[in-house]
Amino acid sequence: MVILRLGAYRTGRPRQRFSIDHPAQPEPSLLASVITKVSDSVRSILGKVGLSSRFAGGGAWLGAGNASEHGLRLVRNMLVARLIAPESLGQMAIIFVLSGLFESFTQIGIREAIIHSPRGTESSYLNSAWWIAFIRGVGLYIVAILLLPFAVQFFEDPEILGLARLVFLSMILNGAMSPRAYAALKEMKFRRWVILNHGGALIGVLCTIVLAFVMKNVWALAIGFVIEAVCRCVLSFFLCPFVPRFAIEREGMKSLFRFMRGMFGLPIIVFLYNNLDVIFVGKMFSKADLGLYKFAVNLAVAPTLLYSGIVSTLLLSSFAEIQDDNERLAQRVTRAARLLTIFIFPIMALLAAGAGPILSLVYGEKFAAMAIPYAILCASVALSLLGLGLNPIFFAMGRPELDRIGSIIRLVVLSILIFPLMERFGLAGAALAALCAALSWVGVNLYRLNLLIGLHLGRFFMAIAPGLGIAVVIGAFAIALK
């Protein structure tokens, strides 16, 4: 979930224009003319959604950062898919699942709490937030190491033990990040966030690519993952300076814990939904099948990572500004959904239609076997992207617990359907279960927003109809060609 802005912020002064009749001003180049037209068009679109030039500028930075990071990640995956055996890729998929599982059990929403709180930029509040996050990270690492042998026994693969001990260091590093990095998001200083977050990721990915050529085994991925966490942590303190103090403010702690209570359980639910299919595939199929399936998933969800890094961040800040005005919230989410689906749904339909050739081109011919699961996952991702445009409202209003109901229902649907569908359709069954679960999540969130802010469902469905119609036409045309 991409909003870009080109050009300068508006000011009270009239803008200078190029003119061929004025001797002091040169004729604009073709590039300058294109940039001017694009800038005016983007400002017009953003105005319709209700986003100011601050969000447009933030979108440009977030767009550049996300595009460069995920583009490089795609290159990395293309290389490691050819250099590393599918069995080793399956092992790394298990490591990442275990790391995410342990983190989700104590995910407390520090970033969201800082953005939501009126005191989110105060040093005393940020100090309390840092200590909570850091203690959580250290404690989580210790618990994860103690429980790791049980996970190894479940997946029946002792080789992942050493890999996991290294990768789990990222838990401490993520908890130690400067909380002023999140305050920068609250203040809409997106440039700093992009440099530290995506800059750290780019360094880690580049290191992984180099290590993959040298080592040609799964350790390259593990080392690169930790380097990424180290760089992100160091850059956070360099760009957003912060010195922890031992004096912890009681009011700040109380405020954080109140927000954390609303978040409790939600990260676990979201994690299980995002990884339950991988867990089942890892248990029911071979490590090679898991490696192939996981890389197909990674390619399918790439737009989700791009979307959540850009639009979700912008919408969270945008909704937070008007969190007490239900009418404006309803209008803004409807307009945003119209624009997002016009871009998202047709793109996902094209990717689904060309599943086989795309997988072969990106990863190699052996991945073409994942064409059907990948096509179904594209439809699931399209629905998830629509849902990710809705749930920032809950967090902007300081009500994260409201997203929990839809997430629980989504997980229940996935849990009920995944085993019988995998028994019947194999790996495609896992993707089908994810599609049904995503549909239930969007439906429940729409119902909740109708009750919470008076979202008019008829207008909402009319708003997304153009994007859905284009996607259906593309899908029908692709089927007819085949």
How far is residue 415's CA from residue 69's CA, in Å, rounded to a whole number?
32
Let me know: does 323 contact 329? Beta carbons within 8 Å.
yes
Q: Which of 23-27, 164-168, 289-293 has the lowest mean pLDDT?
A: 23-27
Q: Which residue has the higher pLDDT, 359 or 118?
A: 359
313-321 vs 53-83: helix axis angle to the nearest 10? 160
pLDDT, one tens digit per residue, over 206-233 is 888 888 888 888 888 889 889 988 998 8
Q: Which of 126-135, 372-381, 400-409, 413-422 has the lowest mean pLDDT?
A: 400-409
Let me know: does 278 contact 97? Beta carbons within 8 Å.
yes
Q: Which of 120-134, 377-391, 457-471 has the lowest mean pLDDT?
A: 120-134
Q: Which pLDDT score, from 0 to 100, does residue 9 have?
A: 34
How far is residue 163's CA from residue 217's CA, in Å, rounded to a whole number?
11
Q: Which residues contact 237 (CB under 8 A, 6 or more apart)?
A: 177, 178
pLDDT, one tens digit per residue, over 313-358 is 667 767 777 777 788 888 888 888 888 888 889 989 988 988 889 9
> Which position has the token pair 């800059």?
199
Q: Which of 101-110, 358-367, 385-394 has the lowest mean pLDDT?
A: 101-110
What is the pTM for the complete model shown?
0.65
Q: Which pLDDT score, from 0 to 100, does residue 61 have?
A: 61
Using 50, 70 and 90 to split pLDDT, how confident is the model at 42? very low
Let me know: does 6 contact 35? Beta carbons within 8 Å.
yes
Q: Which residue has the higher pLDDT, 367 or 123?
A: 367
Element (H or E) spanning 74, and its range? helix 53-83
What sign for the dihedral angle of Cα 468, 469, 472, 473? Answer: negative
pLDDT, one tens digit per residue, over 10-21 is 334 444 433 334
Let me know: does 445 contact 266? Beta carbons within 8 Å.
no
Q: Indicate the SS3 state at residue 465.
A: helix
> Which position has the token pair 């996050």?
133
